[in-house]
């Protein structure tokens, strides 16, 4: 699976510093350059039925019970289980089945609604 690729509609906000950021500010680590906390990312799908806040995390940080977005125009999916085997992460995703990622790949994890 490729890394989670930024979309032109994304907005970035640090809830710790309470400020909006640009893609150039966050695209190396997806963390705020000031406080190093993960940046909230606004995700809106093509028909505007999803307006949520996510974090783009490393696959190695994925945990059971996380809720993720595999594709911008898809529904959020529950993560049933996660295991690591060397540099690979294997996740069992509801409605998707198995997913294999490199530990350094990124994935969108749901944080909640976008309220910034």
Least confident range from 3-17, 21-35, 84-98: namely 3-17
Show the CA angle centred on residue 111, arms to residues 93 and 108, nearest 5°. Answer: 50
Kindly list the domain boundaries of the chain, sorted by start residue: 11-113
Residue 114 exposure: Cα atoms within 13 Å on the Cβ side = 19
The reported pTM is: 0.85
The distance between the two most distant Cα atoms of the chain, rounded to a whole number of Å, is 39
CB-CB contact of 80 with 98 (8 Å): no
- The pLDDT of 45-55, averaged and rounded, is 76
Percent pLDDT > 90 in the chain is: 66
Least confident range from 9-18, 45-54, 69-78, 94-103: namely 45-54
Position with higher pLDDT, 30 vs 6: 30
Cα separations (Å) of 98 from 3, 22, 74? Answer: 16, 33, 16
CB neighbour class for 22 (10 Å; exposed up to 12, middle 13-18, buried from 19): exposed
pLDDT at 2 over 50: no
């Amino acid at each position: 699976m490729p890394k989670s690729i930024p979309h032109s509609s994304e907005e970035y906000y640090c809830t710790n510093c309470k400020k909006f950021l640009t893609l150039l500010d966050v695209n190396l680590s997806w963390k705020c350059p000031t406080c190093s906390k993960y940046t909230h990312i606004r995700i809106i799908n093509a028909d505007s039925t999803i307006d949520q806040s996510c974090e783009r995390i490393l696959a190695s940080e994925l945990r059971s019970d996380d809720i993720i977005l595999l594709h911008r125009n898809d529904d959020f999916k529950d993560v049933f289980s996660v295991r690591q085997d060397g540099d690979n992460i294997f996740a069992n995703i509801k409605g998707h089945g198995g997913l294999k990622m490199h530990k350094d790949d990124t994935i969108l994890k749901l944080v909640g609604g976008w309220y910034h």
